Amino acid sequence: MTRLSPTARREEIVAAALRVASVKGLANTTVRDVAAEMGTSSGLIHHYFASMDDVLAAAFDEAAGADLAATTAEMSACAGPIDRLSTFFSSYIRTEDYRGFQMWLDAWAEASRRPALAATSLRLNVAWQRLIATTVADGVAEGVLVCDDPDATAWRVLSLLDGLSLQVAAHPGLLDQSTVADWAMASLETEIGLPRRSLRRPPSKR
Amino acid sequence: MTRLSPTARREEIVAAALRVASVKGLANTTVRDVAAEMGTSSGLIHHYFASMDDVLAAAFDEAAGADLAATTAEMSACAGPIDRLSTFFSSYIRTEDYRGFQMWLDAWAEASRRPALAATSLRLNVAWQRLIATTVADGVAEGVLVCDDPDATAWRVLSLLDGLSLQVAAHPGLLDQSTVADWAMASLETEIGLPRRSLRRPPSKR
DNA sequence: GAACCTATTGGACACGTGCGCAATAAGGGA
DNA sequence: TCCCTTATTGCGCACGTGTCCAATAGGTTC
């Protein structure tokens, strides 16, 4: 293969690992898979990453981090906290298709066995939680919504979404994504003292 | 090893697989692990189970099914729906320690790769949901609580518990079990029109 | 006691795993 | 042009994986 600069090659490895992982799942992605995807040798991966754990952590960081960044950007383009929360949900269900969510499932399950992956998933989970928590806290400060404990509320709505999405990914046909979003929105609306369906977006927007 | 009856041997295999899986996790439990745990040969396992997927599914069924049965029994010993729901939570956090929950994480993540495990986790998840749904519906019928859609409420409270417990298992130190139970109870109390802390149990009971 | 069924053995098979390492080649600086 | 750093190769090592199967042994039935 053509000789690349260290940074460029590193990025290509992560991109290739991500492509493989999105099809086979994080847990089933091997060094040889990534090498084959790039069309290079397997030894090259170990020249840039100390262990496979680090490769998977970097790939997961790339994927989930991009989703987080995209959602954050969309939300900050909105006017008020309520609109931002509304955008959060529509962004969440768009990015987190059942395929992307399988990566989260693998990351959580593998966390006990792969330290780097555990650190990454922890960091990203906390980042998602803080995104919601600060938005809710802003709404309370502006007086447009009511919440005793924005931190706890953020963990609840995030975990509810995770728990429901998990069923979608693990048990196809049981629940569907629009139901998940609807139920999670209903829960948050109740928690922060908003009338029913006030977070709902007209689906015509897409 | 001493020659056993087919049913006895089958049960011993499942029990051994469960013992190994509760330490190493479902995903990391191998045929040789189970054989070593029993002190027999690995070929014996395949004499009773067509594939490793079936062994793991049976082991998971055994563990999670026992938890479900225990909780069901405890709940039906209670007087009214509210007391049953209260018992549900205290039973849930007692049985679902972080170790047992790792099995759920593995089951969900492996579901896309192991058909038998997927079928088992689907069946058990639905059973848990129905347990809550019927209890809530009973409460509505008796007029002691209010709920528009017990089915949706059951999925929400179960998924909230799963989503929060997942964080406890995957990211030690981030959240703790008592917080999880408290937050999930708060959510359900709001949903079914109960005053705050009415589902809470005095911890002196244990 | 003999005959038969089957639980159990122990290892072979084919494959997949992460990781390491000597050899090669490509490019930049002197 | 030579040299020296290092990206890249290709393979080997040690191990682990599920599955299969001929051989053995224990128990039941006639």
Query: Which nucleotide is nearest to A50 if distance is taken from CA to C1'?
Result: C19
Q: What is the pLDDT of residue B78?
A: 95
Inspect the interface and report whether the beta carbons of A166 and B163 lie closer than 8 Å: yes
- The separation, in Å, between residue B3 CA and nucleotide C25 C1' comes to 64
Tokens of B49: 């189970």
pLDDT for res A203? 53
Contacts of the segment A145-153: beta carbons below 8 A, 24+ positions apart: A145/A81, A145/A82, A145/A192, A145/A193, A145/A194, A146/A192, A146/A193, A147/A191, A147/A192, A147/A193, A152/B183, A152/B186, A153/A188, A153/A191, A153/A192
Q: What is the pTM of this model?
A: 0.94
What is the reported pLDDT for B99? Answer: 75
Q: Supply A161's token pair.
A: 């979404």
Separation in Å, CA of B23 to nearest CA in chain A = 11
For helices B150-170 and A115-142, the axis angle rounded to 10 degrees is: 130
Dihedral angle sign, alpha carbons of residues A172, A175, A179, A183: negative
Number of residues assigned to chain B: 206
pLDDT at residue A170 above 80?
Answer: yes
Asked if B118 lies within 8 A of A158 by C-beta distance, the reply is no
The answer to whether residue A144 neighbours chain B at the CB level (below 8 Å) is no
How many Å lie between the alpha carbon of A79 and the closest alpha carbon of chain B?
Answer: 28
Check: CB of residue A82 under 8 Å from CB of residue A147.
no
Helix (H, G, I), strand (E, B) or coil at B195: coil
Furthest-apart CA atoms within chain B: distance in Å: 60
pLDDT tens, residue by residue, A103-143: 999 999 999 999 999 999 999 999 999 999 999 999 999 99
Q: pLDDT over 90 for what percent of chain B?
A: 88
CB proximity B163 to A under 8 Å: yes
> What are the C-alpha distances in Å from B49 to residues A67, A114, B11, B119?
42, 30, 12, 16
Condensed to tens digits (0 to 9), the pLDDT of residues B102-140 reads 999 999 999 999 999 999 999 999 999 999 999 999 999
What's residue A206's pLDDT? Answer: 40
Instruction: Select from B124, B167, B188 the residue whose CB has the most chain A CBs within 10 Å, as the one to mutate to test that interface.
Output: B167
A190–B191 C-beta distance less than 8 A: yes
From CA A62, how far away is CA A142, in angstroms rounded? 34
Whole-number Å distance between alpha carbons of B167 and B171? 5
Q: In whole angstroms, what is the distance from residue A60 CA to residue A97 CA?
A: 15
Residue A11 and residue A53 in contact, taking contact as beta carbons nearer than 8 Å = no
Whether A148 has its CB under 8 Å from any CB of chain B: the answer is no
Question: Cβ contact (<8 Å) for B163 and A158?
Answer: yes
- Work out the mean pLDDT of chain B and round it to a whole number: 94
A156–B160 CB contact, under 8 Å = yes
Which protein residues, judged by their CB atom, are less than 7 Å from any atom of strand D? A 1-6, 9, 40-44, 47; B 2-3, 28-33, 42-43, 45-47, 50-53
B109 interfaces chain A, CB cutoff of 8 Å: yes
pLDDT, position A205: 43
Is the C-beta atom of A27 closer than 7 angstroms to strand C? no
